[in-house]
Amino acid sequence: MGELKMEEMSLPALFEQARKIHLMASESSVDQDTVRKGCEALQQCEEMISKLGLFSANETKDDISTTNLKYLLVPYYLAELIEKVAQEDRIQILKATQAKLKEFISFCEAMELVPEEELESSIQAGPNSFADRRAKKIARFKRQRAAESKLLEIKERKERRGRSTRAAALSTPVEAGEEDVLDDDGEEEREAWLTTISLALCKAFDLLEMLKKEEEMLSAVREKQLQEGDKEISEALLDERTNKAEAWHRNAAVRAQFTKPAQPITCATFAQDVLEGRASVSQAHEHKHQPLIFGPASLIGGNPTSERERMAAQVFQPGYRLPTMSIEEAGLREMEIMNRFQERNAKLIEEANSAWYKDGPKSRTSEDDEDDDAAQEKARRWDDWKDDNPRGAGNKKLTPCG
């Protein structure tokens, strides 16, 4: 049996087909034929919804049945697919996308689905400040994250219930008429579609703002091209820039072979200055630690002279000892100590391998022998004198019993 044409398909089947195409286009890149097929299916959905009269301007979200809630997303899906259409005149695509997004937002506003924050920001006249725009984006992002989390929770809850239902069906036979009871999740389906519409509204507002900026930029470029008389960038200019860049890279590669590399940067602060363009690699840099000074702002940058100013500059000092050197200075000092240690070890190894250490001390000379004999004779005379003059012998007359 051949595939049904769009005119012969029912509205639920046509919407499901278009929704699958939109999901494929959102998650990955698809060919233009598929995108155009999705646009045609959504346009057919719009015609069928209009003929059937599913929605009325007097209704709100509470008056719409759960089965028809999903068809509110048709203009949003169509806007996103139109934005992905590749066409030479990009501005026309942007205008058509914005028209569909505005249609979706206005219809949701009539159904009381747009948040109060978005309504208040749209009612306010005049340009908003940067703080207001930032607060609005943050609130919109929070609503989007909450909607995504809620959809994930509903999906997991539905999967768990499906698993438990299948397990119960295997253990207990399902009686006739109980299938509807098991599949009766209308409230959960309604909650899921309302959350999907809320998520689509957040994305629609962001996409609308982005498309407006893109349209402004393209319009400015077109006006400039019309003023200058050039409808596209000159290819000769692009070729010239490409050749210049390639020549620069070739010359740099040749110079790199004969260029002496710069000394490694060991200071984190100086490295950050080099990366941000405040300093050059070739500049001399001393690793000096600037101690932190806490105190009144009027005395921090000055040079206190009196004792009162010095005491005032030390107000609110921390309760711990501040470092006296930076990490770079400590590392350089340790490197110096290690270099001296290695030099001393090399000198000791050199002395140990010398001929004097290996051959031992030289033979004693006659002068050394004479010095040793004289020292021994002097020691003997001193011992004899101590024997003749015992300790305290010259003080006997001073003792009372002497």
Question: What is the band of 257 on the pLDDT scale with cuts at 50, 70, 90?
Answer: low
User: What mean pLDDT is reported for the chain?
Assistant: 76
Q: In Å, how far from its chain's centre is CA 53?
A: 49
Please state the separation of Cα 326 from the chain's center in Å. 28
- Note the pLDDT tens digit of each residue in 282-297: 566 665 555 555 555 5
DSSP 298: H
Confidence (pLDDT) at 327: 81
pLDDT at residue 340 above 90?
A: yes
In this predicted structure, the answer to whether residue 154 has a pLDDT above a threshold of 70 is yes
Q: What is the mean pLDDT of residues 121-131?
A: 64
B/e letters for 214-247, b = 16+ CB within 10 Å, e = fewer, are bbeeeeeeeeeeeeeeeeeeeeeeeeeeeeeeee
Distance, in Å, from the CA atom of 165 to the CA atom of 185, rounded to the nearest integer, reads 13
The pair of structure tokens assigned to 94 is 């942007």
For residue 337, the model assigns a pLDDT of 93
Least confident stretch, 92-96, 191-195, 356-360: 356-360
Total residue length of the chain = 402
pLDDT value at residue 180: 47
Residue 115 scores a pLDDT above 60: yes
Per-residue pLDDT of 13-45, as tens digits, reads: 888 888 888 888 887 778 888 888 888 888 888
Q: What is the pLDDT of residue 342?
A: 92
pLDDT, one tens digit per residue, over 202-249 is 888 888 888 888 888 888 887 777 776 655 556 666 777 787 887 777
- Find where tokens 């941000």 sit: 276
Q: How far apart are CA 89 and CA 310, in angstroms?
A: 72
pLDDT higher than threshold 80 for residue 175? no
Distance CA 241, CA 244 (A): 5
If pLDDT is split at 50, 70 and 90, which confidence band does 343 have? very high
pLDDT of residue 331: 85
The residues, any chain, with a CB within 8 Å of residue 293's CB and separated by 6 or more, are 300, 313
Report whether pLDDT(201) > 70.
yes
What pLDDT is recorded for position 44?
86
pLDDT of 288: 58
Reported as a single tens digit per residue, the pLDDT across 300-337 is 555 667 788 777 767 766 777 777 887 878 888 899 99
pLDDT the model gives residue 1: 41
**Which of 10-14, 332-336, 393-397 is least confident?**
393-397
**Whole-number pLDDT of residue 338:** 93
- String of DSSP letters for 77-98: HHHHHHHT---S-HHHHHHHHH
- pLDDT range class, residue 267, cuts 50, 70, 90: low
Q: Give the closest residue to 12 by CA, choosing from 54, 58, 64, 62.
A: 54
CA distance 86 to 83: 8
pLDDT attached to residue 182: 43
- Compute and round to an integer the Cα radius of gyration of the chain: 46
